[in-house]
Each structure stands twice: as C-alpha cells, then as structure tokens.
Amino acid sequence: MALNYLKIRNGLTLKPTTLPTSPENGDVYYDSGTNTFQFYENGVFVTFSNNALSNLANVAINTSLLPGVDNSINVGSASFRWTNINALNYIIYGSTSGAITLQAANTTTSYSVKWPSAQGAASSTTLLQNDGSGNLSWQLATAAPTASTVMSRDTNANTQINNLIENVFTTATAAGTTTLTVASASRQQFTGTTTQTVVLPNATTLFNGTQYTVMNRSTGVVTVNFNGGSLAATLPGGSQVTFTLINNGTSAGVWDVTTYPVNTIGTFDGQAGSANGLVISGSQLFAQSATALVPGMVNITTQTFAGAKTFSTSIATPSLLLNGTVSGAITMNAGSTVTPYSITWPAAQSVGTTFLQNNGSGVLSWAAVTGFSGRAGQQAISSGTTSQAVTFSSTLGTTSYGLTVNMKNVTDAFPQFQPLEITAKSATGFTVTWNANTDSANYVLEYIAVPNV
C-alpha cells in the first residue's frame, strides 16, 4: 500500500523545462521536445505509450500477451479484423487436448491459398484440389472412368479405367544378365541377335499379383530365372511370357507362368524329340521327325519307324526293303521298265508244300505240287561255313530250271540270316553261298528246283 500519494481533482500540469538532474525511481515529467511523458525506472527514463500505441519500441510489450482467463477473449472481431498475422508458427489447439501447428517450409517461394467458399460433401473421397493459382476446391474422387478426376476404389475395392498404360523397357541382348527389381518396368523387351538371361525381382519386395511380361524380339534365346537361380522359362526368338506373383513368402516366390498362344512355326526338329509328337516352346510350335523312339512326321531323309504301319492306299516306291528281325534284309524291286500291273496275295497261309500261282489277273494263290517233275528238299548246314552244296536225289536232265532257296533256323533264339546267292548250278545239283560264317549247326537250307517249260 502506498504510504504517500497525491490526490488531484481538477487536473495537474507536469511540464518541467529540463530533464531532472537527479531523478529517482518513480519520477515523472513531460518532455516538451517529444511531447511524451517520461517515467524514471531502474536508472533510466522510459517513454509512456500514447493512446494509439504508435510509439512502442520494436520489442515485446511483455513476455507474452495472455488473457486473464483461458479461452475468454478474442483477437479482433467480425467487425474489427486484422489485415495480416505474421508469424513463424500458427498453433490451433483442440478444445480438449492436442494441437495443430501450421508452418511454412524453411525456404519458401511465397504464395497464397484460398479455401473453398463452402463446406465439401460428406464423403471419405472428398479431397482438396489446387487449381495452380492457390484457389482450393473440394474434389470428389470416383471409381468410374471419369477424365481429369482423382481415382478411388468402390465399396468392393474395384476401380474402372479406360486404359492402364504400363511402362516398357527395351534391352539389346549381349549374352549378359538383366536383374529386375521392384522399380523395374513391368514390360521388358529384348532385341538383338544373341542371348540374354533375366532374373525376376526378389518376391518379398513385391505385392502378390505383381506381373512382369518378358518379350523376346531377339533372334537369340532369352532365359528367365527365378530370384535365386532356378529356371523359370526359356524364350526362343519371337516369343513372350507373363509371370504373375502368387506367393511372396520367399525371395524366389511362387509365380504363375503364362505362355502366350503359338503364333510362329519353329525350325523342323529344332527341339528335342517329344512323346507328344510336337513341341511348343514360347509362342513357337516345333514339328519333329518320327523315329523308332518318338512319333512325328515323315521327312525327306532316311528314317526308322517303330510299330506296325497300315496304309489305306498304295505306296509308291522304287524298292521295298524287308529287314530281318536281327540282321539282313530283302530288297524287292520292280524292273527298270514295267507295264503297270497289280498282284493280290493269298488271304491265308498255305498248308503243306505249295507254290504261288498267278491266275493271269494278278491274283496269287497257293497251289499244291502235283505231278511234280522237279526236285525239292532240305539240306543241313554245318556251323562256321559260308556255302552249301546240294545234290539232287536224281538228275533233272537239264540245267534250265528255276530254283528257290531259303535258309531256316527254328532252334536258335537269335538266328543270323543272310542274303543267299546261287554260285553254281548243274543238272545234278547246285551250290549256295553267303557272306558270314554260320554261328551254329541249327541252320537248314530249303530248296525247290522246277524245270522251265
């Protein structure tokens, strides 16, 4: 409580002409030079503020401007508004707790934004859009294919678009390795004239459903490996394959490999023979030759077929080769100049000793030997010999006779039959020779000698 005070009712003029020479704390005087009141405090005179507060120094009025009671007064009003508030931070407090701090970047190119003139629609897909001039507006995102709008998902997590344009990256093959990552383009095209190896990305860095399409437009083979090294696909030139990630639990992942439909024919016999008769590799179809091991097509070179073959029409060939089951062959040829004719073989095997007879129309039949004036029989053949002489039981009386010979062995499991050649012929007998020694004594020479009429 002040012990000494001055009570003035009708006014008091404080107007010394000079600054007090020995002021004390609490002294007040009016400075006529600046037309301001001066107050002596702590060793210095301090200027009182004027009514407009226009003479305040560029310092804080106090530590902070605080209301006497929390949430009790406003800064400005609807009728008396501040033009600008200049601050580094603008903090908005929640009525209960928490706060939002608005800040500009440390270095900012100055710009203005204007908020929309009305509230936006009640939707989780309502967004603020800037027109590039700082004018903000509410934009409703949509799952429909609408131009120049923000895309969203519908209640089923689906979105409709006109086209999804995926990036493509082209690499010239160089017998090197291209390792894809999560940042790689989904379409990889390879051009050039040599090979290339592609490694799929680490599956653990991808979402399930991620796809990569490898297009080989090179003339060399492109090999695609899973992450870790195992083979995923081999792409010949002109083919392409799409890889879809099904499980990203490991770096290699589980991928679905989709080969595009065949659109080109590969080189004949360009792939290893397949039991299916044809081979599909990439988008190419490879035909193959038939062999004794795999089915296929007839080519223009020598081939060996397996299994019995039945032809519904004639076979045009200059020679018919009949192979022995173990070795040797019989070649049946037509004459060099032939008047075309046909023959029909008997419908069943003969019974007993018979011969083939032609009825003049090409129909053959087995005929029994009656009134036979020729000679027929069998002659045992020794082991290790290459010839066998036969002596008729009685002379034929002529050397003009037809002779049919056949080597037979019904004992050995794998007899070695050979082509036979008649090297000597007389009225009393003949001699037959062959190339290699007989391998057992179980061979028999059968013969029929018929005099020519």
CA–CA distances in Å: residue 207 to residues 210, 229, 317: 6, 21, 64
Residue 203's φ and ψ, nearest 5 degrees, are -65, -25
Token readout for 319 is: 């020679």
CA–CA distances in Å: residue 423 to residues 194, 239, 254, 280, 388: 63, 64, 75, 57, 10
Q: Give the 3-state secondary structure of residue 327.
A: coil
- Cα 406 to Cα 324: distance, rounded to the nearest angstrom: 13
Task: Decide: 197 and 190 in contact? Cβ < 8 Å.
Answer: no
- Residue 1 has a pLDDT of 41
Residue 302's φ and ψ, nearest 5 degrees, are -65, 135
- Residue 261 has a pLDDT of 67
- Residue 9 has a pLDDT of 63
Residues in CB range of 222: below 8 A, 6 or more apart: 173, 190, 195, 196, 197, 198, 214, 216, 234, 235
CA–CA distances in Å: residue 11 to residues 8, 157, 228, 410, 435: 6, 82, 99, 160, 160
**E-state strands within 346-428:** 354-358, 364-368, 375-381, 387-391, 401-408, 421-426
Q: Which domains does the chain have, with CATH numbers?
A: 14-58 (no CATH), 168-260 (2.60.120), 319-340+371-451 (2.60.40)
Q: Considering just the CA atoms, what is the radius of gyration of the chain in Å? A: 57
CA–CA distances in Å: residue 184 to residues 169, 187, 199, 400: 8, 9, 11, 91
- Cα 158 to Cα 300: distance, rounded to the nearest angstrom: 58
pLDDT tens track, the chain, 453 positions: 445 556 666 666 655 656 777 888 877 877 777 777 777 888 887 777 766 666 666 555 555 667 778 888 888 888 888 888 888 888 888 888 898 899 999 999 999 999 898 888 877 778 888 989 989 988 888 888 888 888 888 888 898 888 888 999 999 999 999 999 999 999 999 999 999 999 999 999 999 999 999 999 998 999 999 999 899 999 888 888 999 999 999 999 999 998 876 667 878 888 888 888 888 776 678 888 888 888 888 888 887 777 777 777 777 777 777 778 788 888 888 777 888 888 898 888 887 677 888 888 889 988 876 666 788 889 999 999 999 999 998 888 888 888 999 999 989 988 988 899 999 999 999 999 999 999 999 999 999 998 886
Task: Decide: 327 and 416 in contact? Cβ < 8 Å.
Answer: yes
Task: Decide: 167 and 186 in contact? Cβ < 8 Å.
Answer: yes
